[in-house]
């Protein structure tokens, strides 16, 4: 999507070489949808992160002359991506790098640097970390990329666009890792701005019509599990107001959104955010006619949450467990009480349905026997199982795992090959086992994740499963709230 391009090429800024960067404001933002698995959903789940940056740039009155275009690619076609970028003739190119897009995008950046040496190249997203560029095959990135946006990219990239992009200027911008003399120099940290004041991609018309839309009502997570790179919870200012959430839902409705992916760490992990969300939905009523994909942390589930979920169309409710093995959870800094988990999930399934217990295959300290037992016990609750192959992610195991985990992982996919409790053969055996189980249940089979198929019907679609032209969707679930569930908070200790 392009913003106010008055001329096919820049006229006010000459190319500057010899170590200098262009100081114009033509910005290309490059992302790749969908991801590791389910490659046929490209029209369904547009990339959100770059569109937040797009919105931040074009909404700033100091950047009224900026020309921004988002390139949301699907296939890792280096030639095609490079040709499209060069045809736009950008001054700045920002790549949104995830584990599935980093190899392709680094090659695009390498060739882009050769073709346009005075262009500023930025990488952001979960894989844009100095530690990631410290492993093969990414070590050469420090000689290609100007900087990594490592904190609050909406504001960080906007400040880069406002600057002259010289090395000294980049070094003064908070929230970056700047490439200088073959190493990464991390600038001072950036505190989050007010989430309420960040521009909305939906309200600015940057999300494709009819696609899934995204809602972020707060930032961070109150937990700090070492396998996850979500990040810690931040200040109360990072909670959207009821009025702002209502405006978002109204924009989704006006844009004929297919449904809403709730991006928060969990629907139940921030009480104020949930109150604002539920109040906004009561005012707008969009989700009652649409669908929601969300995560629920069971220990904080209350009757109010269940009542809200009953009142709307839910395509997917993920409940994070990871493993029933409490010793394993302790090793990865996961605060959980598996002994109360079963009761909570049974109640949620009875009241709402469409619940998937989320577990991890290859978690350090676990075992193939424990993984199978976790899967079978979760299925006995009446839920589906959504299994993920353990990844060694930046800001997570890549930097936080102790030596005793003995992690051996693929440097491209980041999938664990072997670790504490798991041989390579056992990892493969577990993959084959969960793949066969998902197939037997008519579920969803990927390379990095698998979903059993109890709720995988034409009228109920978990996140990531492509929609069909004749797909039917359920209305609000009419199951009455159980008396014992309504009487007290579920699972609160």
Task: Write out pLDDT tens, residues 160-216.
Answer: 999 999 999 999 999 999 999 999 999 999 987 788 999 999 999 999 888 889 999
Q: Are residues 286 and 336 in the same domain?
A: yes
How far, CA to CA in Å, does 342 sit from each of 339, 366, 488? 7, 20, 17
Q: How far apart are the first and last CA of the chain?
A: 48
Mean pLDDT, the chain, rounded, equals 85
Q: Is 54 left (phi over 0), alpha (psi -120 to 50) or beta?
A: alpha
DSSP state of 381: T
The answer to the question of residue 368 being in a domain is yes
Q: Is the pLDDT of residue 273 over 90?
A: yes
Say whether 351 sits in a helix, a strand or coil: helix
Domain final residue, candidates 186, 214, 240:
186
| Total number of domains constituting the chain | 2
Least confident of 38-47, 122-131, 209-218, 254-263: 38-47
453 and 313 in a common domain: yes
Residues 464 and 404 in one domain: yes
**Among 75, 74, 71, 114, CA closest to 94:** 71
Give the pairing type, strands 416-418 and 384-389: unpaired
Instruction: For residue 317, give the nearest of 277, 260, 356, 289 by alpha carbon.
Output: 356
In sequence order, the β-bridge partners of residue 388 are 360, 449
- Residues 81-139: pLDDT tens digits? 999 999 999 999 999 999 989 999 999 999 999 999 999 999 999 999 999 999 989 99
Distance CA 144, CA 182 (A): 10
Residues 424 and 453 grouped into a single domain: yes
Q: Find the helix or strand (DSSP H, E) in which 338 lies.
A: helix 338-351
| Inter-residue long-range contacts of 71-77, CB under 8 Å, 24+ positions, other chains counted | 71/28, 71/29, 71/30, 71/31, 72/31, 72/32, 72/33, 72/46, 72/47, 73/30, 73/31, 73/32, 73/33, 74/32, 74/33, 74/34, 74/39, 74/42, 76/32, 76/101, 76/103, 76/104
Residue 421 covered by a domain: yes
Pairing of strands 176-180, 183-186: antiparallel
Here the tokens at position 8 are: 């096919």
Do 89 and 233 share a domain, yes or no?
A: no
Residue 76 lies inside a defined structural domain of this protein: yes
Full residue range of the structural domain in which residue 375 is found? 198-487
CA angle 207, 213, 216 (to 5 degrees): 110
Domain boundary among 122, 156, 186: 186
Please indicate, yes or no, whether residues 447 and 355 belong to a single structural domain of this protein. Answer: yes
Whether the Cβ atoms of residue 341 and residue 300 lie closer than 8 Å to each other: no
pLDDT in tens, 312-328: 878 889 999 999 999 99
12-21: Cβ within 8 A, 24+ apart: 13/91, 15/118, 16/118, 17/117, 17/118, 20/118, 20/166, 21/91, 21/118, 21/119, 21/120, 21/146, 21/164, 21/165, 21/166
For residue 54, the domain's CATH number is: 3.40.50.280
Q: Measuring CA to CA, which residue among 367, 371, 365, 360 is closest to residue 404? A: 365
Q: Are 214 and 164 within one domain?
A: no
Quote the percentage of the chain above a pLDDT of 70: 84
E strand segments, 126-222: 147-149, 176-180, 183-186, 212-215
Asked if residue 136 and residue 273 are part of one domain, the reply reads: no
Average pLDDT over residues 23-30: 96
Going along 253-301, which residue ranges are E strands? 259-262, 292-296
The reply to whether 462 falls in a domain is: yes
Is position 432 within any domain?
Answer: yes
Helical (H) or strand (E) element with 29: strand 26-32
How confident is the model at residue 482, as a pLDDT? 27
CATH number of the CATH domain containing 248: 3.20.20.70
Peptide bond preceding 16 in cis form (omega within 30 of 0): no
Residues 127 and 235 in one domain: no
Strand spans (E) along 374-451: 384-389, 408-409, 416-418, 444-445, 449-451
Q: Is the pLDDT score of 449 beyond 50? A: yes
Q: Would 5 be classed as within a structural domain? A: no
Answer yes or no: do 148 and 45 share one domain: yes
Whether 14 is in a domain gets the answer no
Q: What are the tens digits of pLDDT across the range 373-432?
A: 999 999 999 999 999 999 999 989 999 999 999 999 999 999 999 999 999 999 999 999
The reply to whether 299 falls in a domain is: yes
pLDDT, tens digit, for every residue of 212-242? Answer: 899 999 988 878 889 987 755 554 557 999 9
Rg (CA), the chain: 23
Do 52 and 61 contact (CB within 8 A), yes or no?
A: no
| Prediction pTM value | 0.86
Last residue of a domain, one of 162, 186, 210: 186
- For residues 268 and 366, membership in a common domain is answered with yes
CB atoms within 10 A of CB 12: 9
ω before 137 within 30° of 0 (cis)?
yes
**How many H-runs (helices) and E-runs (strands) does the chain carry?**
14, 17
Q: Is there a single domain that holds both residue 231 and residue 379?
A: yes
């Amino acid at each position: 999507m392009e913003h106010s391009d008055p001329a096919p090429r820049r006229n006010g800024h000459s190319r500057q070489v010899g170590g200098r960067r262009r100081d114009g404001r033509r910005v290309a933002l490059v992302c790749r949808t969908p991801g590791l698995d389910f490659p046929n959903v490209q029209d369904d789940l547009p990339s959100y992160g770059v569109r937040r940056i797009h919105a931040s740039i074009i909404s700033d009155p100091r950047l009224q002359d900026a020309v921004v275009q988002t390139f949301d690619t699907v296939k890792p076609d280096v030639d095609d991506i490079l040709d499209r970028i060069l045809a736009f003739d950008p001054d700045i190119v920002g790549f949104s790098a995830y584990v599935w897009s980093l190899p392709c995008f680094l090659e695009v950046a390498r060739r882009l640097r050769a073709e346009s040496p005075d262009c500023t190249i930025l990488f952001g997203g979960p894989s844009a970390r100095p530690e990631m560029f410290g492993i093969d095959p990414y070590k050469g990135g420090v000689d290609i990329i100007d900087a990594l946006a490592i904190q609050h990219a909406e504001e960080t990239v906007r400040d880069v666009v406002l600057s002259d992009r010289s090395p000294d200027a980049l070094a003064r911008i908070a929230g970056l890792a700047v490439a200088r003399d073959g190493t990464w120099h991390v600038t001072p940290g950036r505190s989050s701005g007010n989430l309420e004041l960040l521009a909305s991609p939906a309200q600015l018309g940057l999300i494709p019509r009819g696609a899934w839309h995204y809602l972020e009502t707060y930032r961070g997570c109150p937990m700090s599990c070492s396998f996850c790179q979500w990040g810690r919870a931040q200040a109360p200012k990072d909670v959207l107001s009821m009025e702002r959430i209502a405006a978002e839902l109204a924009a989704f409705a006006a844009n004929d959104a297919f449904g809403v992916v709730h991006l928060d760490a969990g629907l139940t992990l921030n009480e104020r955010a949930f109150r604002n969300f539920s109040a906004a939905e009561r005012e707008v009523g969009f989700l009652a006619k649409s669908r929601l994909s969300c995560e629920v942390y069971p220990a904080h589930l209350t009757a109010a949450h269940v009542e809200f979920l009953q009142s709307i169309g839910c395509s997917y409710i993920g409940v994070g467990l990871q493993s029933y093995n409490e010793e394993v959870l302790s090793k990865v800094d996961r605060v959980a009480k598996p002994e109360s988990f079963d009761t909570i999930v049974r109640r949620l399934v009875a009241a709402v349905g469409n619940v998937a217990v989320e577990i991890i295959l290859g978690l350090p300290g676990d075992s193939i026997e424990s993984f199978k037992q976790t899967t079978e016990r979760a299925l006995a609750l009446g839920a589906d199982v959504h299994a993920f192959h353990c990844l060694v992610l930046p800001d997570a195991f890549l930097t936080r795992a102790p030596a005793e985990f003995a992690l051996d992982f693929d440097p491209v996919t980041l999938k664990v090959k072997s670790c504490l409790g798991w041989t390579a053969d056992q990892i493969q055996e577990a993959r084959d086992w969960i793949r066969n189980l998902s197939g037997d249940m008519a579920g969803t089979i990927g390379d990095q994740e698998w979903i059993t198929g109890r709720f995988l019907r034409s009228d109920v679609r978990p996140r990531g499963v492509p929609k069909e032209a004749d797909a039917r969707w359920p209305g609000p679930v009419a199951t009455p709230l159980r008396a014992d569930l309504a009487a007290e908070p579920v699972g609160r200790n």
